[in-house]
Amino acid sequence: MATMEAVFTTRVFDDWFARDPDFFSKVHEGQITQSELTTKVWDKIIDILSSESCGMTVGWKPSIDGMSILLMLKLADEGTVLKLADRMRYMMPVRKKAYQVTGFECPRLPMTLLQRLGFDKHEQVEVPAYLAFDHDRGKCFKELAAQRIKTARGLVNKWRAGWSAAPSELIESMHRFTRMADMRSALMIVLVEQLKLAEEKNDNAGSGILGQVFDKCCAIVESRDKDLKYEAGMKSDLELRRSRLDMWSPPKFLSVEEYQNTELWEEFTELDVLRLIRKRIGTFITIEGLQQKGFIDDFFPVHHMASMGSLATTWGSLSPSQILRLPGDSFTDHVRDYFGEEVGFFFHWLTYITRHLAVPGV
């Protein structure tokens, strides 16, 4: 009895006890041999792992030395990953493009001293928020984006049709909608899209009106931002139009298609999948209990030789060109992506110390 209590969580143990009281009575009375108990426990483990509760594919394979049997687990498909993440409310980073969909900028770390002085040309590091994964919320995010594009197209067509007759009456509407962060981005990219279509069709009249509407919307947006307002005042009309179009066009901003199809969360990495597997198994089975009771020797992820080989020939290489390389963040980022944040933090810290000891060391 103690073996099963150590291996399974309380919810599984209580449910099993309620479903099969006769088996537990035999265990309590000593009518079950150790071999039968081990078989029964393993059957229960495999049933949990392969059932809808975990949704994993289970396989067996002998180790290279033939001394052990490897129990191999994997999630069947991406749909299973999404279901587990949704059920467990797994924390995932917001996609950086999703910030543009909502009309906000992704948060960034403060500029370093080298960036301020101009020696480090890299952009500030973006640090998106983490949210509990929710499939319905992600679906609603895309539906709202599509609805905003539809609304924006209707507004742009209305402004275009009424601009020549009474532009002053439309300005209040422009102020109202560009004040909304999410609608502002939708309006601007729809205007850019229609401007380009008018130019491709050689529609000079339509292009001219759309250009005036676009410039007015940009001026309203810039009037609320001191930096944008200052930059606008330093450019000629032609330069200003080009910079505005560049600002609201790919690659600096999303296209209409990207706006509607951008997911709320980033893609699941292999590390995310491994964490989901371990966390989900831990809901029903205690890994430490399996080890203590001798059911397994260890629990570990499978390494990928291609990824390990890539790290070995660059970051882990013993060649003089790699050893004498100045410390940087590119390789430590690869280490973090493969081994996880804890190991990655150690190497980032090591890089930091090495960088600051380089000058006194020389």
Per-residue pLDDT reduced to its tens digit, 169-228: 788 889 999 999 999 999 999 999 999 999 999 988 888 999 999 989 988 888 887 666
Contact between 65 and 50 (Cβ < 8 Å): no
Q: Which residue has the higher pLDDT, 266 or 311?
A: 266
- In this structure, the answer to whether residues 155 and 205 fall within a common structural domain is yes
Type of residue numbered 359: V
The pair of three-digit structure tokens given for residue 43, joined into one six-digit string: 């059957």
Distances (CA, A) of 304 to 58, 70, 309, 310, 315: 19, 16, 8, 10, 16
**Do 145 and 255 reside in the same domain of the chain?**
yes
pLDDT at 362: 64
Mean pLDDT throughout 319-333? 63
Give the pLDDT score at 1: 73
Asked, for residue 109, whether it belongs to a domain, the answer is: no
- Considering only CA atoms, which of 246, 296, 311, 265 is closest in space to residue 46? 296
The answer to whether residue 327 scores a pLDDT higher than 60 is no
Work out the angle at residue 218's Cα, subtended by the Cα atoms of residues 213 and 221, and round it to the nearest 5 degrees.
130
Is the model's pLDDT at 2 over the cut of 70? yes
Residue 105 falls within a domain, yes or no? no
Same domain, 181 and 154: yes
Amino acid at 199: E
- Whether residue 139 is found in the same domain as residue 257: yes
Least confident range from 64-73, 113-122, 191-200, 335-344: namely 335-344
CB of 220 closer than 8 Å to CB of 232: no
| CB 102 within 8 Å of CB 181 | yes
What is the total count of domains within the chain?
Answer: 3
Whole-number average pLDDT of the chain: 85
**Predicted confidence (pLDDT) per residue in 243-299, tens digit:** 889 989 999 999 999 999 999 999 998 888 888 998 999 999 999 999 998 888 888
Residue 205 amino acid letter: A
Rounded Cα gap, residues 194 and 156, in angstroms: 9
Helix segments in the chain, DSSP class H: 2-7, 10-19, 21-29, 34-50, 78-88, 96-102, 113-117, 135-162, 167-178, 181-200, 204-223, 226-233, 237-247, 256-261, 270-284, 287-292, 305-313, 320-323, 330-339, 341-361
Produce one character per residue of 22-59: b if its CB has 16 or more CB atoms within 10 Å, e if not.
Answer: ebbeebeeeebeeeebeebbeebbeebbeeebbbbeee
For 71-74, the CB contacts below 8 A with 24+ separation are 71/296, 72/302, 73/49, 73/277
Number of Cβ atoms within 10 Å of the Cβ of 323: 8
CA atoms within 13 A on the CB side of 134: 8
Say yes or no: 276 and 321 in one domain: no
228 assigned to some structural domain:
yes
pLDDT score at 65: 84
Quote the pLDDT of residue 326.
59
Assess whether 224 and 274 both reside in one domain.
Answer: no
The answer, yes or no, to whether residue 240 has pLDDT greater than 90, is: no
287/242 same-domain check? no
| Residue 98 confidence (pLDDT) | 96
> Is 256 a member of any domain?
yes
Q: 59 pairs with which residues across the strands? A: 72
> 172 lies in a domain?
yes
Q: Are residues 256 and 273 in the same domain?
A: no
Mean pLDDT calculated for residue range 319-345: 66
Q: Is the pLDDT of residue 332 over 90?
A: no
pLDDT at residue 147 above 70?
Answer: yes
- Judgement on whether residues 274 and 241 belong to the same structural domain of the protein: no
Asked if residue 315 and residue 276 are part of one domain, the reply reads no
Residues 6+ away with beta carbon under 8 Å from 352: none
Is residue 123 one of the residues assigned to a domain? no
Side chain identity at residue 304, one-letter code: H
Q: Does residue 110 form part of some domain?
A: no
User: Letter for the amino acid at 157?
Assistant: N
Q: State the pLDDT confidence band at 106, using cuts at 50, 70 and 90.
A: very high
C-alpha to C-alpha distances, 55 to 9, 49, 239, 289, nearest whole angstrom = 18, 7, 57, 22
pLDDT at residue 317, rounded to an integer: 63
* CA distances for 127 relative to 34, 107, 114, 119, angstroms: 53, 5, 19, 22
Share of the chain above pLDDT 90, in %: 33
Residue corresponding to tokens 């000058």 = 359
The number of C-alpha atoms within 13 Å of 222 and in the hemisphere containing its C-beta is 20
Do 58 and 147 have their domain in common? Answer: no
Q: Which structural domain, as residue segments, surrounds residue 357?
A: 305-361
| Domain membership flag for residue 101 | no
Full 3-state SS string of 334-346 = HHHHHHCHHHHHH
Is pLDDT above 70 for 48? yes
pLDDT score of 328 more than 60:
no
Q: Are residues 236 and 142 in the same domain?
A: yes
